[in-house]
């Protein structure tokens, strides 16, 4: 008797969970295919593209979100059929990639440095499927292309801007203590390249600047991002540069609450707090995703590493808000040209 | 030393203890009546999500908080029904609620708000400073710029202690958690008392979730609780199934997190510091502060033979 009731309870719970999971999958593929067929003037293609996000998920206001934007653009203009699956933990990477490869997708996109090993493994098992790995490289496969972003370049520009802003003590919120705060998600190359550029840029325009750097060790913990930010603010920081995915949203919140400034990352994050986010260091994950899908559609897919930098608009900085004086914008523009022309080279390593 | 005199360290301690203390006390209510509750993580996520949604839809964060409490009560009621009425395995049920909470909130977030996430214009609960407390040395540091829910949490700790240990209802709740047969014999309604404990627990866990989403922030993100429901479970055990004990444990874990934030960048490896709260949890559970004994009938369904 007891077992029977136990079974009923569990059965109900399981049924409920499965129901919701089913709805989720149906809802997602539903929106995706409809946006593909609703396109006006777009060509139709039989190319199927599967997108596997990292744990930050599609709502991270940055990196994973942008890859989806790129896929949506491809659905609308190239008529490809896209599908998305979000990874809830690192153990989801391989099954998620395999699922798309198994069901015959032409291109499987792995968003994130942390998926490098998973791509290495799955691309070997499915040699006829093409893979795009964003943020890290798998070079010894003919079916894998890797997108690497020189985010140290845009990090340099926003760092230079933050350094210049430190002298503008007449701006409300700039406290004259000459301290900048950086919040990293994890100490991994795609995060640290941004930070390395920020250090070098800030040191270029403001040699005496002090930079406080802390890591949240999570890309989803907004509360921790907020705490890190408050700690840095209490140490005198008046411009924050969070490079921490979803956790960084909490840092921007803290900057807003304290009446200081923040610099967005990956996407133009000004909309999160228009008077707080002075600019954003942007990474064209959307552009690169779209470009590689286009290569697959046109049959020009090439394996190996594709670099995205300031010169090909793979990385850039967002338009500044009204807080930043025009003279500073011009000086940063000049630095941008110097990087593009090769007069300045930015190292991807954080200076010791 | 300057780290210890930075008010932010202490404010951070209290701020990070709040989302641990609330679900820990919630779990205490449930387990005191004899229902093992490991579902705090899932209920927190559901609370966090409904708080943001209703705060956005109604423009009032207070209605958001109420919605979170209602959602927490509802999911706890379903959990209680399966655990008490159907006598299902409570640990498995709790796990199911956690997985369900993570799935349903991610699904609803994408369905309702799309992949742009919750709107940045969502209202959040106010941050208040009480001048009388602020001017007290040391204690004032703790209360530097705290959210209104931090104060509510402290009130709830005291109220919970009073309810559990100084009222007739509290005595009855504890009685059915220790010896339901004896309590039943004396004419107490075991099931109803257990429902009460689990639902109060659900409401408190949901307030903990709301603190994360519309207390210190104004947005929801998938899995934003980041395992706090499980740390709260540890805080509940560490605190020996009492409200003040749970608060003490939550403060210790909050302090460890806050300290690891403050110590970063001081030549100590960050990964090592980030481990600190969890290492403390292990030490605590290994019995460093004495033995924790669960209520005698914790986790055992009570069958009615009527």
How large is the average pLDDT for residues B195-209? 96
pLDDT at B260: 82
User: Facing residues of A304 across strands?
Assistant: A145
Match 């740390």 to its residue by tokens: B231
Residue A95 has pLDDT above 60, yes or no: yes
Which chain B residues are Cβ-neighbours of A62 within 8 angstroms?
none
Q: Please give the domain boundaries of chain B with CATH numbers for all domains.
A: 7-288 (1.10.3470)
Distance from CA of B258 to the nearest CA of A (A): 8
pLDDT at A133: 94
Q: How far apart, in whole angstroms, are the C-alpha atoms of residue A291 and residue A286?
A: 9
Task: Say what the pTM is.
Answer: 0.82
Q: A67-70, long-range: CB within 8 Å, 24+ apart, which pairs? A: A67/A109, A67/A111, A67/A134, A67/A285, A67/A286, A67/A289, A68/B115, A69/A286, A69/A289, A70/A285, A70/A286, A70/A287, A70/A288, A70/A289, A70/A290, A70/A293
Domain with CATH 3.40.50.2300 in chain A: 41-149+285-308, 151-282+322-340
Residue B145 has pLDDT above 90, yes or no: no
Q: pLDDT class for B288, splitting at 50, 70, 90?
A: low
Which CATH code is given to the segment(s) A41-149+285-308? Answer: 3.40.50.2300
Partner B contacted by A29 (CB < 8 A): no
CB contact under 8 A, B216 and A272: no
Partner A contacted by B223 (CB < 8 A): yes
Chain B contact probe: residue of A231, A273, A277 with most B CBs at under 10 A = A231
Distance from CA of A342 to the nearest CA of B (A): 32
CB A111 within 8 A of CB A134: yes
For the record, the structure tokens of B275 come out as 């481990």
Partner B contacted by A24 (CB < 8 A): yes
Closest A-chain CA to B210: A223
Q: How far apart, in whole angstroms, are the C-alpha atoms of residue B226 and residue B165?
A: 32
From start to end of A185-252, where are the E strands?
210-215, 237-243
CB contact under 8 A, A222 and B89: no
User: Facing residues of A179 across strands?
Assistant: A210, A237
Which chain B residues are Cβ-neighbours of A83 within 8 angstroms?
none
Taken as a whole, chain B contains a residue count of 306
For the record, the structure tokens of B249 come out as 């444990």
Q: How far apart, in whole angstroms, are the C-alpha atoms of residue B11 and residue A232?
A: 13
CB contact under 8 A, A59 and B221: yes
Distance from CA of A53 to the nearest CA of B (A): 12
pLDDT at B238: 84
What is the number of CB-based contacts under 8 A between chain A and chain B?
156
CB contact under 8 A, A13 and B82: yes
Q: Which of A10, A220, A231 lies nearest to residue B223, judging by beta carbons?
A: A220
For Cα atoms B19, B20, B26, give the angle at the middle one, nearest 5 degrees: 95
pLDDT digits (tens, 9 = 90+) for A125-149: 999 999 999 998 888 889 999 999 9
How large is the average pLDDT for residues A303-319? 91
Q: Which of A58, A65, A221 lies nearest to residue B226, judging by beta carbons?
A: A221
CA distances from B290 to A53, A103, A152, B32, B105 (A): 45, 55, 52, 19, 38
Closest A-chain CA to B80: A9
Q: How far apart, in whole angstroms, are the C-alpha atoms of residue B97 and residue B24?
A: 16
Q: How far apart, in whole angstroms, are the C-alpha atoms of residue A58 and residue A245?
A: 11
Q: Which of B115, B127, B301 lies nearest to residue A65, judging by beta carbons?
A: B115
Q: Is B46 helix (H, G, I), strand (E, B) or coil?
A: helix
Distance from CA of A244 to the nearest CA of B (A): 13
Which chain B residues are Cβ-neighbours of A10 within 8 angstroms?
88-89, 92-93, 96
Q: Which of A5, A9, A271 lies nearest to residue B93, judging by beta carbons?
A: A9
Render the burial of B220-251: b for 16+ CB within 10 Å, e for the rest: bbbbbbbebbbbbbbbbbbbbbbbbbbbbbbb
Contacts of B297 (CB under 8 A, 6+ apart): B34, B176, B177, B178, B179, B180
Which chain A residues are Cβ-neighbours of B116 within 8 angstroms?
59, 61, 65
pLDDT at B240: 87
Which of B:40-79 have CB within 8 Å of A?
Answer: none
Q: How far apart, in whole angstroms, are the C-alpha atoms of residue A118 and residue B7?
A: 44
CB A85 within 8 A of CB A68: no
CA distances from A304 to A24, A139, A150, A293, B278 (A): 35, 5, 16, 15, 41
Partner B contacted by A26 (CB < 8 A): no
Of the listed ranges A41-45, A92-96, A189-193, B134-138, the one predicted with least confidence: A41-45
CB contact under 8 A, A14 and B92: no
Which of B:243-302 have CB within 8 Å of A?
Answer: 257-258, 261-262, 264-265, 270-271, 274, 301
CA distances from A145 to A94, A288, A304, B87, B135 (A): 17, 11, 5, 54, 60
User: Facing residues of A81 across strands?
Assistant: A48
Which of B:126-185 have CB within 8 Å of A?
Answer: 127, 145
Distance from CA of A19 to the nearest CA of B (A): 10
pLDDT at A219: 85
CA distances from A42 to A38, A72, B35 (A): 9, 12, 58
Of the listed ranges A16-30, B71-85, B163-177, the one predicted with least confidence: A16-30
Q: Which of A2, A246, A249 lies nearest to residue B87, judging by beta carbons?
A: A2
Which CATH code is given to the segment(s) A151-282+322-340? Answer: 3.40.50.2300
CA-based Rg of chain B, rounded to a whole angstrom?
A: 19
DSSP one-letter string for B181-221: HHHHHTT--HHHHHHHHHHHHHHHHHHHHHIIIIIS-S---
Average per-residue pLDDT for chain A = 86
Partner B contacted by A206 (CB < 8 A): no
* φ, ψ (nearest 5 deg) of residue B89: -65, 120
Query: What percentage of chain A has pLDDT greater than the value 90?
Result: 69
DSSP one-letter string for B121-185: T---PPEE--HHHHTSTTHHHHTTTEEHHHHHHHHHHHHHHHHHHHSHHHHHHHHHHH-HHHHHH
Partner B contacted by A6 (CB < 8 A): yes
Q: How far apart, in whole angstroms, are the C-alpha atoms of residue B157 and residue B52?
A: 24
Burial of residue B299 (CB within 10 Å: 0-12, 13-18, 19+) is: middle
pLDDT at B135: 80
Q: Is the ipTM of this complex over 0.85?
A: no
Q: How far apart, in whole angstroms, are the C-alpha atoms of residue A11 and residue A225?
A: 39
Q: pLDDT class for A43, splitting at 50, 70, 90?
A: low
Distance from CA of B269 to the nearest CA of A (A): 11
For residue B274, the tally of other CB atoms under 10 A from its CB is: 20
How large is the average pLDDT for residues B248-256? 90
Distance from CA of B213 to the nearest CA of A (A): 9
pLDDT digits (tens, 9 = 90+) for A68-91: 999 999 999 999 999 999 888 889
CA distances from A226 to A68, A128, A160, A282, B23 (A): 26, 45, 24, 21, 21
Q: pLDDT class for A30, splitting at 50, 70, 90?
A: very low
């Amino acid at each position: 008797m007891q077992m029977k009731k136990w079974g009923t309870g569990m059965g109900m719970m399981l049924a409920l969970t499965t129901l919701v999971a089913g709805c989720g999958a149906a809802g997602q593929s539903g929106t995706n295919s409809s946006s593909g067929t609703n396109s006006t003037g777009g060509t139709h293609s039989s190319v199927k593209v599967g997108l596997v996000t990292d744990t930050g998920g599609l709502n991270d206001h940055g990196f994973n979100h942008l890859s989806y934007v790129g896929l949506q653009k491809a659905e609308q203009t190239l008529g490809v059929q896209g599908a998305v699956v979000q990874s809830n933990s690192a153990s989801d990477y391989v099954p998620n990639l395999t699922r798309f490869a198994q069901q015959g997708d032409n291109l499987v996109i792995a968003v994130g440095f942390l998926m490098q090993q998973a791509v290495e493994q799955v691309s070997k098992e499915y040699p006829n499927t093409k893979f795009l790995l964003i943020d890290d490289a798998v070079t010894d496969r003919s079916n894998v292309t890797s997108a690497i972003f020189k985010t140290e370049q845009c990090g340099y520009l926003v760092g230079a801007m933050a350094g210049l802003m430190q002298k503008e003590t007449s701006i409300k919120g700039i406290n004259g203590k000459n301290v900048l705060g950086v919040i990293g998600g994890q100490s991994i190359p795609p995060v640290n390249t941004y930070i390395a550029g920020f250090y070098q840029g800030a040191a270029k325009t403001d040699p005496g600047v002090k930079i406080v750097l802390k890591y949240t060790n999570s890309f989803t913990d907004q509360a921790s991002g907020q705490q890190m930010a408050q700690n840095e603010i209490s140490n005198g920081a008046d411009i924050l540069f969070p490079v921490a995915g979803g956790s960084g949203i909490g840092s921007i919140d803290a900057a807003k609450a304290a009446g200081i400034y923040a610099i967005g990352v990956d996407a133009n994050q000004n909309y999160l707090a228009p008077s707080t986010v002075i600019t954003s260091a942007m990474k064209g994950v959307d552009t690169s995703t779209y470009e590689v899908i286009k290569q697959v559609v046109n049959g020009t897919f090439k394996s190996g590493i594709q670099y995205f930098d300031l010169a090909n608009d793979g990385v850039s900085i967002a338009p500044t808000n009204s807080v930043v004086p025009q003279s500073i914008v011009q000086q940063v523009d000049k630095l941008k040209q110097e990087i593009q022309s090769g007069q300045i080279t930015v190292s991807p390593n954080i200076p010791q | 030393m300057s780290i210890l005199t930075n008010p932010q360290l202490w404010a951070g301690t209290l701020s990070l203890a709040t989302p641990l203390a609330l679900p820990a006390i919630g779990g205490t209510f449930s387990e005191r009546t004899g229902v093992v509750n490991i579902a705090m993580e899932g209920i927190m996520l559901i609370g966090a999500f409904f708080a943001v949604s209703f705060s956005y839809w109604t423009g009032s964060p207070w209605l958001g908080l109420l919605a979170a409490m209602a959602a927490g009560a509802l999911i706890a009621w379903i959990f209680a029904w399966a655990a008490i009425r159907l006598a299902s395995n409570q640990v498995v049920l709790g796990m199911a609620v956690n997985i369900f909470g993570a799935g349903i909130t991610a699904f609803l977030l994408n369905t309702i708000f799309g992949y742009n996430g919750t709107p940045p214009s969502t209202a959040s609960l106010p941050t208040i400073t009480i001048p009388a407390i602020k001017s007290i040395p040391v204690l004032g540091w703790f209360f530097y710029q705290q959210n209104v829910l931090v104060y509510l949490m402290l009130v709830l700790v005291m109220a919970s202690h009073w309810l559990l240990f100084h009222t007739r209802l509290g005595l009855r709740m504890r009685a059915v958690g220790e010896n339901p047969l004896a309590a039943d014999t004396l004419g107490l309604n075991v099931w109803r008392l257990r429902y009460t404990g689990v639902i109060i627990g659900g409401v408190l866990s949901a307030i903990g979730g709301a603190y994360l989403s519309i207390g210190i922030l104004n947005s929801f993100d998938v899995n934003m609780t980041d395992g706090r429901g499980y740390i709260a479970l540890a805080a509940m055990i560490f605190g020996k199934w009492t409200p003040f004990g749970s608060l003490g444990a939550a403060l210790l874990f909050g302090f460890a997190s806050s300290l690891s934030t403050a110590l970063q960048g001081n030549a100590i490896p960050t990964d090592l510091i980030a481990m600190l709260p969890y290492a403390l949890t292990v030490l605590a559970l290994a019995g460093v502060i004495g033995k924790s004994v669960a209520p005698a009938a914790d986790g055992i369904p009570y069958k009615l033979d009527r």
